[in-house]
């Protein structure tokens, strides 16, 4: 959408420097780490995803962005259902398994967790700090990814602190100070993963 005040910009042009700057900028945006799952006629799949976002609470709706090269994309669209499991800080190994880079065991292996089902049949991870059971209501292709929009038909929460991803590393929430410390008082960050 464009009004008279908006300059005309050719959005089809993205050079490498813009792309790299975008990726670098996004690496500074900390997110929760979620495990998206699906099950049905197209099979059972899981994928570590940081692109989950709330769309609206009226009615409860969320979105995830899934790379179209990953089998999860076709499976969600074919099964018509998916679940989003927000991982707990000590479930980092699940994130690594479903990102295809397990420290031990096999990539994308559901043996690496305990699961239960609710309405849709998409696997819910025991111990996740929040889960959202979803029916797919829309899927839009944008570049390399599909935006899958889900109507939430079930939600639950469990105790624990969420797993966070930022600066290409896993971490967890820390209590924010009530007063602003000087830069000398700030502890060194504990980013220990080189890249993803």
Ligand X SMILES: Cc1cc2nc3c(=O)[nH]c(=O)nc-3n(C[C@H](O)[C@H](O)[C@H](O)COP(=O)(O)O)c2cc1C
Name the residues that contact ligand X, by CB under 6 A. Answer: 33, 47-51, 65-67, 70, 99-100, 165, 196
Find out whether 32 and 131 touch, Cβ atoms under 8 Å: no
d(CA 82, CA 132): 9
CB of 38 to ligand X, least distance (A): 13
Kindly tell me which of 58 and 128 has the beta carbon lying closer to ligand X: 128
Least spacing, CB of residue 60 vs ligand X, in Å: 20
- Residue in 119, 110, 61, 64 with CA at minimum distance from that of residue 86: 64
Q: Looking at beta carbons only, is 81 or 148 nearer to ligand X?
A: 148
Which C-beta is closer to ligand X: that of 65 or that of 128? 65
Of residues 61 and 67, the one with the C-beta less far from ligand X? 67
Give me the least distance between CB of 172 and ligand X, in Å please.
13
Least distance from ligand X to the Cβ atom of residue 113, Å:
15
8 A C-beta contact, residue 48 and residue 128: no
Please enumerate, as own/partner, the contacts of 59-62 that have beta carbons within 8 Å and a separation of 24 or more. 59/151, 59/152, 60/132, 60/151, 60/152, 60/155, 61/137, 61/149, 61/150, 61/151, 61/152, 62/132, 62/134, 62/149, 62/150, 62/152
Distance (Å, rounded) from C-alpha 82 to C-alpha 64?
10
CB of 92 to ligand X, least distance (A): 10
Residue whose Cβ sits closest to ligand X: 51
Length of the chain: 196
Nearer to ligand X, 191 or 196 (CB): 196
Q: Which secondary structure element, helix H or strand E, spans residue 139, and what is its range? A: strand 130-142
Q: Work out how close the CB of 187 gets to ligand X at its nearest, in angstroms, rounded to a whole number.
A: 23
The C-alpha atoms of residue 54 and residue 62 are separated, in whole angstroms, by 4
- Closest CB to ligand X among residues 119, 161: 161
């Amino acid at each position: 959408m464009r009004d008279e005040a908006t300059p005309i910009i050719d959005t089809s042009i993205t050079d490498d420097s813009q792309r790299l700057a975008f990726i670098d900028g996004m690496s500074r945006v900390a997110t929760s780490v979620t495990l998206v799952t699906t099950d049905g006629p197209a099979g059972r799949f899981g994928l570590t995803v940081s692109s989950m976002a709330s769309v609206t609470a009226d009615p409860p709706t969320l979105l995830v962005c899934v790379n179209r090269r990953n089998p999860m994309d076709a499976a969600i669209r074919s099964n018509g259902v998916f679940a989003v499991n927000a991982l707990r800080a000590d479930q980092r190994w699940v994130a690594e398994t479903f990102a295809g880079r397990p420290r031990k065991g096999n990539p994308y292996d559901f043996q690496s967790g305990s699961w239960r089902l609710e309405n849709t049949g998409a696997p819910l991870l025991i111990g996740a700090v929040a889960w959202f059971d979803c029916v797919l209501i829309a899927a839009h292709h944008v570049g390399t990814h599909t935006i899958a929009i889900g109507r939430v038909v079930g939600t639950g929460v469990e105790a624990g602190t969420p797993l966070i991803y930022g600066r290409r590393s896993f971490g967890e929430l820390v209590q924010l100070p009530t007063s602003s410390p000087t830069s000398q008082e700030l502890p060194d960050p504990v980013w220990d993963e080189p890249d993803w």
